[in-house]
Amino acid sequence: MRLSKRVSLISPSPTLGISARARELRAAGRDVIDLGVGEPDFDTPENIKEKAKVAIARGFTKYTPASGIRELKQAICEKLKRENDLSYSVEEVAVSCGAKHSIFNVLFALLEENDEVLIPSPYWVSYPEMVKLSGGVPVILPTEERTGFRVTPEQLEEAITPRTKVFILNSPCNPTGAVYPKSELEKLAEVLVRKGVYCLSDEVYEKFVYGVEHVSIASFPGMKELTVVVNGVSKTYAMTGWRIGYAAGPKDLIAAVSRIQDHTTSNPTSISQHAALEALTGPQTSIHQMVEEFRRRRDLVLKRLEEMGLRCPRPDGAFYIFPRISQFFTSEVGNSTTFCQLLLERESVATVPGAAFGSDDHLRISYAASVESLEKGMERLRRFLGDLKPNY
C-alpha cells in the first residue's frame, strides 16, 4: 500500500519498544516499577465522576456542538479570567478531545506548507510530529541546563526568519519541569510582538508548580492577539482518560478549529464535557492535595539522584525530573535509549530516554508514582549505576 508522504515524515515513538517490553516483563511475573508514566496516579475526584453518572442518567448522550457545549466554554472563560487574568468570549474557545487534539487542530489551522515552527528542546514528543503532519517545518531550539532548560529571548530572536509562523511554549515543561518566570516571559513576549510571530502556549501543567508562579504569556501587552492558550482537565483533575482539552485564542482561528472538528471528530464526548464542567466549577481541594504530594515526591527523588551523583536543574513544575546520564555512556551504553533498555532488563525499572524529547544526554523520570514505588525505583537505579563506570 502506498501511504501518504506526510505519514512517512512522522518518526516512530522511541518509547514504544520500552513500553511493550515492560508489558511483556509484567506478564511474565516481573515486578516492574513504572517511572515513565505521564499522568497523575490519583483517581478522578468523586464529585466529577458523580456528575458524569448524572449526565448518563439524564440522557446527555447525544451529539453536542462540535466545539463543545456553551456551559463548558463559559466555565473555561471564567477560569481564564479568574486564574490567568485573560478575557475571552465563548466564541474564542473551542473544546477538543484532549489538549493534544487542541494543539494539532491549532497547528493544522495555522500552518501553510513549509512554515517554520520554533520548538525549544527538550520538548514534548508530539510537537515536531504534529508540525510535520500539518505541513510545517519544526525548528529546534536547544536549551541548556545552565539556563534551567529555558530558551532565552536572544536565542528566540536569532532563530526567527521570514518563514517563522509559530513559537511553541510549554511552561511548566514536559519533560524538564522548567517554569518560565514572569520576567523572562515578558522579554520573550516583546520579541514575539516585535516580530509578529504567533505563540502556541501549552499550559496543561499550570497547576503543578512548587514555590513559583505560573504566568500565561498571553497576559502581556500585545500577546493575546498572537497567542493560543491550550489547556485541559487531564492533568489538573486526574482525568487523562476523559479526553477534554481546550484552546482559547483569536475568534477567526477558533472558528477554523471548530470547522476542522466538524469534519474530523465532531464533538468531544458529551458525558466527559459535563464531567469537565464540574471539574472547573466544583470543589478544587483535590488540586492542592496532589500538588503537595508531588512536591514531596519531587524532593525525595531529587535527594536520591543527588546521592547517586546524578544532577539536574530542580524542576519547579509538572511531575518529571530530567537528569543527565551521558557520563555513563560507554561502548555498551551508547545512548539514552540503550540506557533505558538495560535499566528495564536488569532492574525492571521503566523510564523514558531523553532522545524521545530531543536530548539524548538525559533521562526522564516521572514521580507520578507512589512513594513506595519511587523508593524501590531509586534503589534499583542506584544498583544499576553501580555496575557502570561514569566518564567524568
Q: What is the pLDDT of residues 296-320, one digit of tens each?
A: 999 999 999 999 999 889 999 999 9
164-178, 238-252, 257-271, 377-391: which range is least confident on average?
377-391
Helix/strand/coil for 183 = helix
**Residue 54: pLDDT band with limits 50, 70, 90:** very high
178: exposed, middle or buried (Cβ count in 10 Å: 0-12, 13-18, 19+): buried
| DSSP assignment string, 239-265 | -GGG--EEEE--HHHHHHHHHHHHTTT
pLDDT interval class at 14 (50, 70, 90):
low
Query: 62-281 adopts what CATH topology?
Result: Aspartate Aminotransferase; domain 2 (3.40.640)
Tell me the helices (H) and strands (E) count for the chain, helix number first. 13, 12
pLDDT of residue 285: 96
pLDDT reported for residue 392 = 59
Q: Is the pLDDT of residue 160 over 70?
A: yes
pLDDT of residue 390: 72
Q: CATH number for the 5-43+286-386 domain, one of 3.20.20.70, 1.10.10.10, 3.90.1150.10, 3.40.50.2300? A: 3.90.1150.10
The pLDDT-based confidence of 5 (bands split at 50, 70, 90) is confident
- Under the banding of pLDDT at 50, 70 and 90, the label for residue 219 is very high
Compute the mean pLDDT over every residue in the chain, rounded to the nearest whole number: 96
Structure confidence at residue 142 (pLDDT): 98
Mean pLDDT over 56-74 rounds to 98
3 state SS of 180: coil
The three three-digit cell numbers of residue 188, written as one number: 520573550
- Assess whether pLDDT exceeds 90 at residue 18: no
Q: Is the pLDDT of residue 289 over 70?
A: yes
| pLDDT of the residue at 1 | 83
pLDDT tens for residues 318-353? 999 999 999 999 888 999 999 999 999 999 999 999
Q: What percent of the chain has pLDDT above 70?
A: 99
pTM for this model (two decimals): 0.96
CB 175, CB 315: distance < 8 Å? no
CA distances from 27 to 107, 247, 350, 372, 374 (A): 39, 39, 14, 21, 21
Partners of residue 362 on adjacent β-strands: 324
Instruction: Assign 19 a pLDDT band (cuts: 50, 70, 90).
Output: confident
**What mean pLDDT do residues 245-251 have?**
98
Nearest in space to 154 (alpha carbons), one of 124, 130, 187: 187
120 by DSSP, 3-state: which?
strand
Domain spans of the chain?
5-43+286-386, 62-281
Report the pLDDT value the prediction gives residue 12, as an integer from 0 to 100: 75
pLDDT at 37: 87
Rg of the Cα atoms in the chain: 21
Adjacent-strand bridge partners of 121:
142
The model's confidence at residue 258, banded by pLDDT at 50, 70 and 90, is very high
The percentage of residues in the chain with a pLDDT greater than 90, rounded to a whole number, is 91
Mean pLDDT for the stretch of residues 58-78:
98
